[in-house]
Amino acid sequence: MKIAVDAMGGDFGPRVTVAGALRAAQDFGIDVFLVGVERIIKNELEKLHYDRAKCTIVDAPEAISMGEGIFSLRRKAKSSIRVGAQLVKDKLADGFVSTGNTAAVVYISRKVIGALQGVERPALALLVPTLRGMSLLIDVGASVDCRPGHLEQFAVMGRVFMESVLGLENPRIGLMSIGEEESKGNDLTREAYERLENSSLHFIGNVEGKDIYSGKADVIVCDGFTGNVVLKVSEGVVEALFHWARREVTRNLLAKVGFFLMKRNLKRLYKKVDYAEYGGAQLLGINGVCIIGHGRSNPQAVRSAVRMARDFVVHRVQERIQAEMAKLGGATHGAKA
Amino acid sequence: MKIAVDAMGGDFGPRVTVAGALRAAQDFGIDVFLVGVERIIKNELEKLHYDRAKCTIVDAPEAISMGEGIFSLRRKAKSSIRVGAQLVKDKLADGFVSTGNTAAVVYISRKVIGALQGVERPALALLVPTLRGMSLLIDVGASVDCRPGHLEQFAVMGRVFMESVLGLENPRIGLMSIGEEESKGNDLTREAYERLENSSLHFIGNVEGKDIYSGKADVIVCDGFTGNVVLKVSEGVVEALFHWARREVTRNLLAKVGFFLMKRNLKRLYKKVDYAEYGGAQLLGINGVCIIGHGRSNPQAVRSAVRMARDFVVHRVQERIQAEMAKLGGATHGAKA
């Protein structure tokens, strides 16, 4: 199996991505393509011990910055993201992993690799930690303006993911809304509710923001705008809380001592909720495997992202999605863009 | 000044609301109407010392439960929420405070009291704690399906609130979106961005979920669906974090000791982020003062909500909003529902 890794991605670039990719190659016995500026990657490789046979550099001299717009992306044919996606398109790689600009990876992967037949909109899925384990939030930012049929497709894709990768049979599907009753929500969620209720999915109704981390549903469906807001608000709350906690601690000596004694536990807690640790989001509904890691990913997280790509290939997730979409067939008629 | 308090509202009913209303009456020198089932309110009053001259019971024998739908609300002419709103409509009370079912209070207040001239949609505003102080999130659930012109009106209402109640001159207005660049977001936010940029407001651009609690903007504008999701997700994250922290603590003795030493500080931290403490959300854009407290409000929070109602009356917030809307005039043309 061959996985292409965007060596230029992430906040720390090749220093982290190359190390992570090599670890994955070694630990999971797969081959990796390191895609990016050859000279820089070589430089990183020289610092590390690795199996040369399992690692190939693919030159991609153009860089894409974290804030780059769609127009400039179109012109860059030699960016590491585009070259990596092209490797998947040409079946030279089985999957692509990037910790680069999420919007750019989604946009380019969709253009280059293309959508699966029957999928109206791709969706970015992310596993989030809950009090009971992990739940899948879908979409977290690939498709921001959605229609009810799109949300139904997201639900189906989420089910396939949870069943095939996590081995969770008939996962509970929840619809992200602002009240438990069917009548609550906006126009989009009310119509999506009806569709989901009439589907063959294990639909458990609306879930509210406060239910996400309680693990009430295994798959939580929403449009990409809402999902992205959920993610970033969660991040903001965690950061603010830890900030306030530190401020509280400096108020008196007892608290300082207490904080010191709890430090290891608090660190573990922070790691638990820091989604840079989780190896990334999965782009579902395109005709190939694409995993997008957090920009803050460390080598360990890059390794996890490569493992996730491998799992996608092994479990043929995208093929299963395609098959489910064919079954859905007429059901999404009317959701055409 | 006379403030009507929905005595039947909240998770704990008259036991909490009556105590809170009486405290407010005493501390702020205002008169209160206690609206609800006379017998039950009398019962509560008997347990308390209070100034009988400052406190009048208004009988409203029908109850509205927390999950009640719109259809059953229409039939109930004698609910405490309807009677309270009617007191404002009839100018017998200067403002209304309820800790009842938020959707019911919004719906009934809007119907009974009516919208301010020029206001297309009412908005529920909530002050949230940030690292720098407090920011206003508007709308948090009154109007879920919005058009760009509505968001512009929310921004104007938010500015009036921050200027008149908090004395903050020309507050920084941010638009809740999923990326800082103008091009990021969904159709609604992109159009709203353009409107806000061309307005006379101090518009600082898009803010992301992670910026809410950093205090980047003084007023954060969004549709009611998104705002409500933000609120409930925040609540969920706080609950999950405290839950995980407790779990971590039981792992070893040092952490237990540390937790014990930090207990007072953690409690204060929890209070800081627990929005039941903040005296409630403000319904802006209707022709009268209406404050909606959290269902979990304690007497202190009810007292704060009554004080907020008083501040609204003193600062003539709704009148100022009306004046600003007249100035906005043609600008929202095209936002008509």
Indicate which of B126, B182, B265 best probes the interface with A, i.e. most A CBs within 10 Å of its own CB. Answer: B265
Nearest residue to B131 via CA among B190, B212, B52, B61? B212
Q: Which residues pair with A322 in a beta bridge?
A: none
Query: For chain A, what is the radius of gyration of the CA atoms?
Result: 21
Spatial separation of the C-alpha atoms in residues A128 and A231, rounded to whole Å: 9
Cβ A293 vs Cβ A301: under 8 Å: yes
What H or E segment, with its residue span, contains residue B6?
Answer: strand B2-6
Spatial separation of the C-alpha atoms in residues B194 and B161, rounded to whole Å: 23
Yes or no, beta carbons of B178 and A144 under 8 Å apart: yes
Opening angle at CA A191, ends A188 and A197, nearest 5: 130
pLDDT value, residue B69: 64
Give the distance from residue B264's alpha carbon to the nearest chain A alpha carbon, in angstroms.
8
User: Residue A42 corresponds to which tokens in the numbers above?
Assistant: 């070589």
pLDDT value, residue A335: 44
The second-level CATH assignment, the architecture, of A120-282 is 3-Layer(aba) Sandwich (3.40)
Give the distance from residue B5's alpha carbon to the nearest chain A alpha carbon, in angstroms.
25
Spatial separation of the C-alpha atoms in residues A286 and A321, rounded to whole Å: 9
- Is 3.40.718.10 the CATH classification of the domain at B1-117+285-307? yes
Yes or no, beta carbons of A225 and B252 under 8 Å apart: no
Residue A275 has pLDDT above 90, yes or no: no
Yes or no, beta carbons of A240 and B214 under 8 Å apart: yes
Encoded amino acid at B211, one letter: D
User: Measured between CB atoms, which of B186, B223, B236 is closest to A144?
Assistant: B186
Read off the pTM.
Answer: 0.90
DSSP structure class, residue B287: S
Yes or no, beta carbons of B229 and A230 under 8 Å apart: yes
Residue A193 has pLDDT above 60, yes or no: yes
Give the distance from residue B175's alpha carbon to the nearest chain A alpha carbon, in angstroms.
12
Q: What is the mean pLDDT of chain A?
A: 89
Spatial separation of the C-alpha atoms in residues B221 and B227, rounded to whole Å: 8
- Which chain B residues are Cβ-neighbours of A241 within 8 angstroms? 237-238, 241, 269, 273
Least confident of A160-169, B210-219, B324-333: B324-333
Give the distance from residue A101's alpha carbon to the nearest chain B alpha carbon, in angstroms.
12
Opening angle at CA A34, ends A33 and A35, nearest 5: 105
- Between the alpha carbon of residue B132 and those of residues A240, A243, B215, the distances in Å are 11, 12, 5
Report the 10 Å Cβ neighbour count for A330. 6
Cβ B197 vs Cβ B184: under 8 Å: no
Average pLDDT over residues B256-274: 73
Spatial separation of the C-alpha atoms in residues B187 and A301, rounded to whole Å: 33
Spatial separation of the C-alpha atoms in residues B272 and B129, rounded to whole Å: 7
Pairs from B315-319 (Cβ < 8 Å, separation ≥ 24)? B315/B164, B315/B165, B316/B164, B317/B160, B317/B161, B317/B164, B317/B165, B317/B282, B317/B284, B317/B289, B318/B116, B318/B284, B318/B285, B318/B286, B318/B287, B318/B288, B318/B289
Three-class DSSP labels, chain A:
CEEEEECCCCCCCHHHHHHHHHHHHHHHCCEEEEEECHHHHHHHHHCCCCCHHHEEEEECCECCCCCCCHHHHHHCCCEHHHHHHHHHHCCCCCEEEECCCHHHHHHHHHHHHCECCCCCCCEEEEEEECCCCEEEEECCCCCCCCCHHHHHHHHHHHHHHHHHCCCCCCCCEEEECCCCCCCCCCHHHHHHHHHHHCCCCCEEEEECHHHHHHCCCCEEECCHHHHHHHHHHHHHHHHHHHHHHHHHHCCCHHHHHHHHHHHHHHHHHHHHHCHHHHCCEEEECECCEEEECCCCCCHHHHHHHHHHHHHHHHCCHHHHHHHHHHHHHHHHCCCCC
User: Residue A331 corresponds to which tokens in the numbers above?
Assistant: 């059901």
**Domain B120-279 in this protein, CATH class:** alpha beta
Q: How far is CA A56 from the centre of its chain?
A: 25
- Domain A1-115+285-313: homologous superfamily in CATH: Isopropylmalate Dehydrogenase (3.40.718.10)
Residue B37 has pLDDT above 80, yes or no: yes
Yes or no, beta carbons of B70 and A226 under 8 Å apart: no
pLDDT value, residue B186: 93
pLDDT value, residue B151: 97
- Which chain B residues are Cβ-neighbours of A130 within 8 angstroms? 240
Spatial separation of the C-alpha atoms in residues B108 and B81, rounded to whole Å: 7
Yes or no, beta carbons of A261 and B261 under 8 Å apart: yes
> Is the Cα dihedral B329, B330, B332, B333 positive or negative?
positive
Residue B335 has pLDDT above 60, yes or no: no
Residue B252 has pLDDT above 80, yes or no: no
Residue A329 has pLDDT above 80, yes or no: no
pLDDT value, residue B268: 74
Model ipTM value: 0.87
Spatial separation of the C-alpha atoms in residues B295 and B231, rounded to whole Å: 14
Yes or no, beta carbons of A248 and B266 under 8 Å apart: yes
For residue B223, the SS3 value is: coil
User: Measured between CB atoms, which of A131, A185, A245 is closest to B144?
Assistant: A185
Give the distance from residue A54's alpha carbon to the nearest chain B alpha carbon, in angstroms.
38
Cβ A170 vs Cβ A202: under 8 Å: yes
pLDDT value, residue B70: 62
User: Residue A146 corresponds to which tokens in the numbers above?
Assistant: 């959605």
Residue corresponding to tokens 């600062």: B315
pLDDT value, residue B337: 39
Higher pLDDT, B52 or A212: A212
pLDDT value, residue A250: 77
Residue B336 has pLDDT above 60, yes or no: no
Average pLDDT over residues B300-322: 94
> Is the Cα dihedral B261, B264, B268, B273 positive or negative?
positive
Give the distance from residue B197's alpha carbon to the nearest chain A alpha carbon, in angstroms.
20
Residue B287 has pLDDT above 60, yes or no: yes
Indicate which of B183, B246, B262 best probes the interface with A, i.e. most A CBs within 10 Å of its own CB. Answer: B262
pLDDT value, residue B280: 86
Residue A336 pLDDT level (bands cut at 50, 70, 90)? very low
CB pairs < 8 Å spanning A and B:
203
Residue B67 has pLDDT above 80, yes or no: no
Average pLDDT over residues B238-258: 79
User: Measured between CB atoms, which of B179, B224, B262 is closest to A258?
Assistant: B262
- Which chain B residues are Cβ-neighbours of A263 within 8 angstroms? 258
Yes or no, beta carbons of A261 and B254 under 8 Å apart: yes
- Which chain B residues are Cβ-neighbours of A245 within 8 angstroms? 265-266, 269
Nearest chain A residue to B231, by CA: A209
- Per-residue pLDDT of B129-139, as tens digits, reads 998 889 999 99
- Per-residue pLDDT of A194-241, as tens digits, reads 999 999 999 999 999 989 999 999 999 999 999 999 999 998 888 888
Spatial separation of the C-alpha atoms in residues A76 and A111, rounded to whole Å: 13
pLDDT value, residue B253: 78
Residue B266 has pLDDT above 90, yes or no: no
Yes or no, beta carbons of A266 and B248 under 8 Å apart: yes
Residue corresponding to tokens 């750019």: A104
Yes or no, beta carbons of A225 and B185 under 8 Å apart: yes
Higher pLDDT, B233 or B250: B233
What H or E segment, with its residue span, contains residue B124?
Answer: strand B123-129
Yes or no, beta carbons of B67 and A259 under 8 Å apart: no
User: Measured between CB atoms, which of B176, B178, B241 is closest to A238?
Assistant: B241
Give the distance from residue A238's alpha carbon to the nearest chain B alpha carbon, in angstroms.
7
Indicate which of B207, B241, B267 best probes the interface with A, i.e. most A CBs within 10 Å of its own CB. Answer: B241
Q: What is the mean pLDDT of chain B?
A: 89
pLDDT value, residue B68: 66
Spatial separation of the C-alpha atoms in residues B223 and B39, rounded to whole Å: 41
Indicate which of B208, B225, B296 best probes the interface with A, i.e. most A CBs within 10 Å of its own CB. Answer: B225
The ranges of chain A annotated as CATH 3.40.718.10 are 1-115+285-313, 120-282
Nearest chain B residue to A214, by CA: B240
Q: Which residues pair with A122 in a beta bridge?
A: none
Least confident of A41-50, A85-94, A216-225, B162-171: A41-50
What H or E segment, with its residue span, contains residue B322?
Answer: helix B317-328
Yes or no, beta carbons of B261 and A258 under 8 Å apart: yes
Higher pLDDT, A138 or B77: A138
The ranges of chain B annotated as CATH 3.40.718.10 are 1-117+285-307, 120-279
Spatial separation of the C-alpha atoms in residues A104 and A107, rounded to whole Å: 5
pLDDT value, residue B40: 94
Residue corresponding to tokens 């929500």: A185
Higher pLDDT, A179 or B96: B96
- Between the alpha carbon of residue B7 and those of residues A120, A317, B37, B61, B98, the distances in Å are 51, 55, 8, 11, 8
Residue A120 has pLDDT above 80, yes or no: yes
- Pairing type for strands B281-284 and B289-292 reads antiparallel
